[in-house]
Structure 1
Amino acid sequence: MTKPKVAVIGTGGTIASQGLHPLDTQDYASSGRPILTADELVAGVPDLARVAEVIAVPFTAIPSTAIGWAEWRALVAKIVELEAQHPDLAGVVVTHGTATLEETAYLLSLTLPTDLPVVVTGAQRPFTGLSSDAAMNLVAAVRVAGDPASRGLGVLVVLNDEVHAAREVTKTSTGRLQTFRSPDVGVLGHVDADRISHWRRPTRLLPVAGRFDILGQERAPRVDVVYSVAGGDGVAVHAFLAAGAAGLVAAGLAPGFVTPAERTAMAEAIVHGCAVVLSSRAGSGRTFPTRRYGEEGFINADNLNPQKARILLMLALTRTRDRAEIAGLFRTA
């Protein structure tokens, strides 16, 4: 039986990190040892050859705290290039640090001009750690990327033997292995030893033709997140506007409100052309439309968490400043 051809793009992160010894599973970033390249990571998991023909693709190996717009554009370009170079490519795996993994996965799902299976994976323990999840997560991700049933599901996130939709998954624990979860809707499937079980398909996917083209966008519109707390006075809103924010996302008090002072500052920002999206710091659930916020021009994030609402608003602002059009994207993307 012919094995699927899967490309592995290594961007760094814990999955490719090395501690000083097997018990160094917490402060390994201070070890001084280099982050493994894609070639080294793939070579370190020889059993990958049992499940796929793997192509290791070099990329900048960095902590995911350092990843942003430039790296996202480069990833999109690299995946487009790989698909053109390898017509028989079954899928792509992106190895990534877990800190911003969900943001990269969601951005890729909104921007990749292809239905080629793309899977983002990472690890909670470094590659050298005792009982590291790095190797098994990589194998599982390659298996999912190479599975024909993964085509058309959008960008997927695979860790801890679970398959998640990029839009829905979030990191919920700093250190536990089961950190990635989809709070409102659950997993798409499981990666078991005998097969990959897909239980459902995501419904909130932009069609390929409707996705955002960021390759010509050298800089992203500035969008900042305002974290709402009791007594919040709106100073952060004014500071972000002074820094040039074209959009703001409120990590609001559940179910999606902000303090009176923050609301006043944000309403003023809307009058002056800034797009403001109401999300929630709760971690799950929709923010519901209300008459008073709607009349002032606020946009609801639906059930996107603040960091993902920021991604969608950044992309939306590359295309339009029309409030109704942006609101429509938050209902469908």
Structure 2
Amino acid sequence: MSTRKPRIAVVAGPTATILNTPPLVAGPLRPQRLGAATTVWVEHLSAHPMESDLGARQAGPDGYLTEDGSVSPERTAETDVAVVAVRLDAGALYPLPYTPRPADGWEPGGWDDPRQTFFPDASRAYEEIDALVEMDGRDGTLSALADFVHVRVLPSAGRTSPPDCERLGHDYFPYWPPHRRGEPDRGALARLTNELGALLAGGEVDAVQYLEGSASIEESLYWLALTLDTDRPVVGHCAQVPHQALGSDGPRNIVDGVLYVASGAALDEDGRDRVGPVLVADGQVFAAREVAKTDGRYGGYRATGGLGGVVGAVHSYRGVHVDHLSTRRHTRTSELTVARLPAQVRHVHGRLATGLRVGTTTVKDAAGRLREDAVPSVLVHKYGRYTGDAGTDSARERAALWGWIEAYLDGATRPLGIVLEGNPSYGHADPWEEAVLTTALHAGVPVVRAGRGNGSGFVRIPPMPFAAASNLTAAKARILLTAALLKLGSLEPAADPRNPTEAERQRTADQLAAYQELFDEH
């Protein structure tokens, strides 16, 4: 483990259970900050049922609490309680009964409860974790391992009062209470890349810990693996149980992530990250490309694709181990980092009936940052057997699928792509579905086939016009296709996408080959 403490930027992201807390209810103990220093009398030998077993080896009490509330240096009655004096410092957090004093007398938990349960950034969570004991019985684990700077990028809680006036669904993104949920839009991917890229490029931090909701962090981490040009570790964390709640897994995951960074196990001989963005959860280190949440419980994360994905493990006593490195491109070796993207790409817009036209999408602003309005739309079409009506040639289904696609092409200002989540291993769909998607392909829309569910191998590349998603899930294929569209743009459309010429078919195949290369390497 390195002798110099690393400086870690902790980024609070959206819908992060790891930064959520149970609702504040009067009575239960909650960490609260002591306003003034004080001395409290604690019952002697009450920290553990076996303390009294030490007998004479344990120091005696500081006094005896009598029935009238005074403390006597000697026992005066059988009812006296042996106590020790403990000095509590002002400003420190201690578990104390929560006593709300609302101005309007509301009760917690109602639909109109204005309080947010998420932390605005991770500083409070890290302070509380640092006060907890490690397995060796000592506290201060986080501060002993690293220094931290706390950053908000698409956070889960918002400062809604002046002067900040942050807006739900634009500046912050909670999932609780249910009627106040907020989901980031496509442009948020650009914000995430730009802000983390600037943070890492500044040279003031050695690594990033990124905190997000457990159901979606796998997509964000893979996006960062594709678009961030960095040689610093990026470690993702999430939780299945809110912070402060019984059985919360977030604190352990966070400590394990700091151990991972501080150990230097992710670095090569030149001190550069060799693993790429990872999710550290339940003592395992997952590569961002392969990790997926499969259940809302401990151990509910799995490596997808059937060919690895778990790159190492973390344990407080046994240390940090990185044993499996992928040959896939990521971060500084990725072909999709912002610096490697062109200034402009082609997009297609219009309708078949009135003609498709080619436009230009500006990818980056004057400062070289990814534009939020440039992030492409990528649709996911999922195959299932038994969909068409008998004797109709699936005309209604064809029209519905094409209408969905054309709604995105009509008036489009950025490229469009489609992921077909077809049958396992092959990525095939019903012939009528493939016919509609082939029309979309010749209308300039790259189509990528992925297998349904969590496949354990590669989608094969048969003699058909779509690209193959390698061993990616459809969710991860969508992320890679989004980044690839920023690199390559839309395909050149055929004059009549329903009846392309042989030369137009070959041109489409040649252009789609560049997409296939990106899927083969990332």
**Is the aligned partner of 1:247 residue 2:417?**
yes
Cα distance in 2, alignment partners of residues 78 and 304 from structure 1: 27
Q: Deviations over 1:176-209 (max 9, x none)?
A: 1111111311410001113111111121124625
Per-residue CA deviations over 1:199-222 (Å, capped at 9, x if unaligned) read 111211246252331733322111
Candidates 282, 285, 288, aligned match of 1:163:
285
Shift of 1:114: 0.6
Counterpart for residue 90 of structure 2: none
2:482 aligned with 1:311:
no
Q: Structure 1 residues 206 and 138 mapped into 2: Cα distance closer, same or farther (>3 Å)? A: closer
**Cross-structure match for 2:123:** 39
How do 1:1-333 and structure 2 match up within 5 A?
Answer: 1-12=3-14, 13-20=16-23, 33-36=116-119, 37-46=121-130, 47-59=141-153, 60-61=155-156, 62-63=173-174, 66-87=183-204, 89-150=205-266, 151-173=273-295, 175-183=296-304, 184=306, 185-194=308-317, 195-206=319-330, 208=332, 210-213=335-338, 215-219=369-373, 220-232=375-387, 233-234=397-398, 235-244=400-409, 246-255=416-425, 256-284=427-455, 285-291=457-463, 293=464, 297-320=465-488, 321=491, 322-333=511-522
Q: Number of paired residues?
A: 322
Q: Work out whether residues 16 and 41 of structure 1, in 8 Å CA contact, stay in contact via their aligned partners in 2.
A: yes
CA distance in 2, matches of 1:172, 1:66: 21
Which region of structure 1 is more displaced relative to structure 2, 12-21 or 151-160? 12-21
Report if aligned partners of 1:231, 1:259 keep a CA contact under 8 Å in 2.
no
Instruction: From the superposition, tell whether residues 85 and 267 of structure 1 become closer, same or farther in structure 2 (CA, over 3 Å).
Output: closer
Instruction: Tell me which amino acid in the other structure corresponds to 1:323.
Output: L
Task: Decide which moves more: 71-80 or 154-163.
Answer: 71-80
Residue deviations 1:101-149 (CA, integer Å, cap 9, x gap):
1100000000001111001110011112201001111111222233323
Q: Which moves more between the two structures, 119-128 or 73-82? A: 73-82
Q: 1:211 to 1:230 in 2, by over 3 A?
A: same
Q: Which runs of 5+ in 2 are unaligned?
A: 29-108, 131-140, 157-172, 176-181, 267-272, 339-363, 388-396, 410-414, 492-510
Which stretch has the larger CA shift, 76-85 or 319-328?
76-85
- More moved, 223-232 vs 67-76: 67-76
Structure 1 CA distance for aligned equivalents of residues 405 and 214 of structure 2: 27
Cα distance between partner residues in 2 of 1:80 and 1:327: 27
Rounded to whole Å, the distance in 2 between the matches of 1:169 and 1:107 is 13
> Secondary structure at 1:45's aligned position in 2?
helix
- Structure with the higher helix share, 1 or 2: 1
Cα drift, residue 263 of structure 1: 0.9
Shift of 1:159: 0.8
User: For residue 102 of structure 2, what is the aligned residue in structure 1?
Assistant: none
2:189–2:372 contact (8 Å) kept in structure 1 = no
Structure 1, unpaired ranges of 5+: 23-27
| 1:38 positional shift | 2.0
Matching residue's letter, 1:312: L
CA drift of 1:237 comes to: 4.6
RMSD (Å) for aligned C-alpha atoms: 2.3
2-side partners of 1:101 and 1:145: how far apart? 19
- What's the offset of the Cα at 1:18? 1.4
Between the two proteins, what is the percent identity of the paired residues? 28
Displacement of 1:83: 2.7
TM score, norm. by length of structure 2 = 0.58
